[in-house]
Amino acid sequence: MSSEPAIRCKGIGKAFQLYAHQNDQLKQILFGLWKTFYKEKWVLHDMTFTVEKGGRVGILGRNGAGKTTLLQIICGITMPTKGEFEVKGRIAPILALGSGFDGLLTGRENARIGAAILGLSRREVDECIEDIAAFADIGPFFEQPMRTYSMGMIARVAFAICAHAKADVLIVDEALSVGDEIFQRKCEKYIADFSRTGTILMVSHDLDFLENLCDRILWLEQGVVKEIGEPKRIIADYRAAMLAEEAQAAGAA
């Protein structure tokens, strides 16, 4: 691992705008200079951390802690409200798998467009399109419009594109929960192989997988970094906190 940062987040904060009524959004556009028609909901606060080149950082935390929002910021899907961040190198964002696909286009057509969006040249797309098809392994469906696909098939194509993006940084959000066991194994193997050379930032609720893969864990609690450091210790602390909470809830019931 190099000491050069691949991902650098400094003072990242994120607030969503919540509108109580449907027409408040229009009012905000028309009269927003004079009055505010939304409430702010802060979901990330002052997040500062670095992932070194070649680092493998896992993010854990309970539902709603802000994990996906953080990854979306780092991938440029949503903007932070405060702070700044920098990513060095090409990103393969394995999150919200398949949400950008056009249902009227075939898997092959979507794969070509997706690979180009991730930064591959036309020649590189030509070179790897059959490998993408083989990785997705959905047979003749690859030539069918994607509106005919199951969720698992969509995830297969999306993951296959990311796996061939020649990425420097892999950002993964719970992608392994989609797809059957064979596909999950394939993805796990790909991530493990990638981790030998690339940088990984990964959200998962699979604590054993994170412990095996990562060299650091970031525990996110209500939008704040609660702990960051050695996987074994932090996962043990996290498990203990979950057990304590469960015991408390059982006692209160």
Q: In which residue are the tokens 């969006």 written?
A: 117
Least distance CB 114 / ligand ATP (angstroms): 23
Which one, 51 or 95, has the nearer CB to ligand ATP? 95
Least distance CB 157 / ligand ATP (angstroms): 22
Nearest residue to 107 (alpha-carbon basis) of 84, 125, 77, 129: 129
Which one, 138 or 202, has the nearer CB to ligand ATP? 202
Percentages helix, strand, coil for the chain (3-state, rounded to 5) are 45, 25, 30
Least distance CB 43 / ligand ATP (angstroms): 4
Which one, 69 or 110, has the nearer CB to ligand ATP? 69
Cα–Cα distances (Å) from 25 to 17, 30, 32, 120, 214, in that order, read: 9, 9, 9, 38, 42
Which residue ranges make up the site for ligand ATP (CB under 6 A)? Answer: 16, 41, 43, 61, 63-69
- Residue 117 CB partners (closer than 8 Å, separation 6+): 100
Least distance CB 73 / ligand ATP (angstroms): 10
Which one, 61 or 93, has the nearer CB to ligand ATP? 61
